[in-house]
Amino acid sequence: MSQVIKGYLGVFLVLLLMMSSIGILSAFMIVVNAQDLHANIVDELENSACANTVIEECFDKAKQAGYGLSVCLFYEDGTNCQIASEAEIPANSGESAYARVELEFPLQIGFFQVDQDHRISGYVR
């Protein structure tokens, strides 16, 4: 009788470990994909000196991936411009000294009932 209980307990613990591992690995892959997209956006903005067309393409990429993108341009005279959508891109975006790029993405782990929004931030010089 005790062997049956130990057997069922062992199977239950293995299944619990397997489900939690799958949830953690899938969450890790979501984070890695978001970090990869963020790094690509930062590289493209650095290589283009924050050109308007490139900023529009970056917003398109983030929207296609289901992420939120925010770009804050900082100018040499101390002013800044927060861009949260394609419609807010200024005409003089290429004159910025540097920019902050924030990518917001949802992180969901179904087994643990986790549903949060996370943000990755980086700078373009």
Once rounded to an integer, what is the mean pLDDT over residues 5-24? 93
pLDDT the model gives residue 98? 92
Query: pLDDT for 76-96, tens place per residue?
Result: 888 899 999 988 988 877 778
Residue 114: what pLDDT? 86
Burial class of residue 45 in the structure, from the number of CB atoms within 10 Å of its CB (0-12 exposed, 13-18 middle, 19+ buried) = buried
Checking if the pLDDT of 97 tops 90, the result is no
Going by pLDDT thresholds of 50, 70 and 90, the confidence category of residue 123 is: very high
Domain range spanning residue 26? 2-124
pLDDT, one tens digit per residue, over 37-81 is: 999 999 999 999 888 899 999 999 999 999 999 999 999 888 899
pLDDT at 60: 96
pTM of the model: 0.87
Q: How far apart are CA 27 and CA 108, in angstroms?
A: 7
Q: How many domains does the chain have?
A: 1
